[in-house]
C-alpha cells in the first residue's frame, strides 16, 4: 500500500469515527427531549433524579468531587438502560 493510500484510509477511518460519535451524541440529545404521556421530558426527569441522589448523598455525608462527571455518568447510565430495555 502506498503512503497516499495509507493517509487516505487513515483519514477515512478518522472521519467514520467522528461521524459515529456525532450520531451517538445526536441520539442521546434527542432522547433527552423525548416526553412521556405527562409531557415531561427525560432531561427534566434526570435532573430531578440527580438532585435527589445528591441530596441523599449529602445527608449521608458523602461528597462528589466532580459533579459534572457524576451527572454525565448518571444520565448516560439511565439512557443506556432505557435504550437497551426497548431493544
| Residue range 7-19, pLDDT digits in tens | 989 999 999 999 9
50 in Cβ contact with 71 (< 8 Å): yes
What is the mean predicted confidence (pLDDT) over 75-86? 85
Distances (CA, A) of 76 to 9, 10, 37, 39: 31, 30, 22, 21
Q: What is the pTM of this model?
A: 0.74
Amino acid at each position: 500500500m502506498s503512503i497516499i493510500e495509507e493517509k487516505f484510509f487513515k483519514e477515512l477511518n478518522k472521519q467514520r469515527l467522528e461521524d459515529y460519535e456525532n450520531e451517538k451524541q445526536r441520539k442521546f440529545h434527542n432522547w433527552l427531549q423525548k416526553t412521556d404521556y405527562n409531557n415531561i421530558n427525560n432531561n427534566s426527569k434526570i435532573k430531578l433524579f440527580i438532585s435527589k441522589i445528591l441530596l441523599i448523598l449529602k445527608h449521608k455525608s458523602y461528597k462528589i468531587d466532580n459533579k459534572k462527571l457524576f451527572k454525565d455518568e448518571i444520565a448516560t447510565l439511565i439512557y443506556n438502560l432505557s435504550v437497551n430495555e426497548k431493544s
